[in-house]
Amino acid sequence: MTTSTFKKFRGLLPGNSLVIATVATHNADGTSTLTTLDGGTMRARGQVVPVAGLAFVRAGAVEGPAPVLPAFKLTV
């Protein structure tokens, strides 16, 4: 069986990244407006996470709720 060069090349490229964002609003067209952790805004398909909840977003779609975990700084 042969594998094309293009398929090998595509295997080297990264896939869609997973983003964690806070749901700001739900829109009438079935999308959500989200605020990323660095302060940017984005719009994604889906309304499965309530407003003010953390969501996993990949490839322009809300995948589901993200856990709320404690954060802390550690100086070494």
* Residues 65-73: contacts with CB under 8 Å, at least 24 apart: 66/20
State the DSSP H helix or E strand holding residue 56, giving kind and residue range, or none if neither.
strand 54-58
| Residue-wise pLDDT tens digits, 9-67 | 888 888 899 999 999 999 999 999 999 989 999 999 999 999 999 999 999 999 999 99
CATH topology of domain 16-65: OB fold (Dihydrolipoamide Acetyltransferase, E2P) (2.40.50)
User: What is the residue type of 22?
Assistant: T
Query: What is the pLDDT, as a whole number, of residue 13?
Result: 87
Residue 10: per-residue pLDDT: 85
DSSP 6-32: HHHHHHHS--PPPEEEEEEEE-TTSEE
Per-residue model confidence (pLDDT) at position 1: 52
